[in-house]
Amino acid sequence: MTVPETDWETGWFEIDWDRERRTGIPEVILCASKSVSQIEAILSAAADAGRRLLFTRLEPAVFEILSAGSHTRLNYDPVSRTAWYGPTVADADLKPGIGIVAAGTTDLPVAAEAARTLAFLGFQAPVIADVGVAGLWRLMRRLDEIRTHRVVIAMAGMEGALFSVLAGLIDAPVIAVPTSVGYGVSAGGMAALHSALASCAPGLLTVNIDNGFGAAVAAVKIISKI
């Protein structure tokens, strides 16, 4: 069998420009496993179409070897590993209502991914960090602030106890994001994921491990309907 000649680097993508009309959420590009040439080609396609894009899981080492032109075009954040192309909403015009709570500072990369996604989608995303339940007083002293949000995204690794505690203290929907933080039987976030899924706090919602992007999209869809 003869394999047809193909541009393996740049000829295999088709951007879903209609996604925002269908779902309310614009197209987003997952950069993990994509080559520099593929990322550059997708960025050029967005520029040619005059459309904006969010890039996720764009590792700093990969960003560094993108062309100078791509560096100029992209708003990049190495902590969240996200980049924006195209116009975004000014800070003063971001909509309120969604808050992010992180158990520890080691959860901040996932919290930052959620925050940057929310900002790209036009929402404020204040982050309250280092309020894990090992020092419950830290959470309790920020509780009034957390209660001002209509939807709360919570990040935690280890055993994920923050999810049930927080969901039992506030009336807003809580979206749990298990993170791959912890030792041994924490198993790269599996213990926190199981804790979230088995929570005794009714109404707790859960996304996949380290999925700050998915939690942000879910929060936007929820707040847009309540």
- 200-224 average pLDDT score: 94
Domain ranges of the chain: 19-85, 91-223
pLDDT digits (tens, 9 = 90+) for 146-173: 999 999 999 998 888 999 999 999 999 9
CA–CA gap between residue 192 and residue 43 (Å, rounded): 36
Q: 10 Å Cβ neighbour count for 73?
A: 18
- Cβ distance 94 to 119 under 8 Å? yes
Q: What is the pLDDT of residue 146?
A: 95
Q: What is the pLDDT of residue 113?
A: 96
CA–CA gap between residue 188 and residue 110 (Å, rounded): 14
Q: What is the pLDDT of residue 87?
A: 81
Report residue 47 as tokens.
């520029």
Q: How confident is the model at residue 3 (pLDDT cuts 50, 70, 90)?
A: very low
pLDDT digits (tens, 9 = 90+) for 41-80: 999 888 888 888 999 999 999 999 998 988 989 999 999 9
How would CATH label the architecture of 91-223? 3-Layer(aba) Sandwich (3.40)
User: pTM of the full predicted structure?
Assistant: 0.89
Q: Give the rounded distance of the alpha carbon of 61 from its chain centre.
A: 20
Q: Of all residues in the chain, what percent are helix, strand and coil, respectively (each to 5)? A: 40, 15, 40
Q: What are the residues facing 156 on neighbouring strands?
A: 178
Token pair 């116009």 in the structure block, residue? 87
Assess whether pLDDT exceeds 50 at residue 81.
yes
Residue 11 phi/psi, 5-degree rounding, is -100, 15
- Cβ distance 143 to 82 under 8 Å? no
On the CB side of 3, CA atoms within 13 Å amount to 3
CA–CA gap between residue 43 and residue 121 (Å, rounded): 19
Q: In a 3-state reduction of DSSP, which class is residue 133? A: helix
Q: 10 Å Cβ neighbour count for 127?
A: 16
pLDDT digits (tens, 9 = 90+) for 112-150: 999 999 999 999 989 999 998 888 999 999 999 999 999
Q: Rounded mean pLDDT of the chain? A: 89
Assess whether pLDDT exceeds 50 at residue 199.
yes
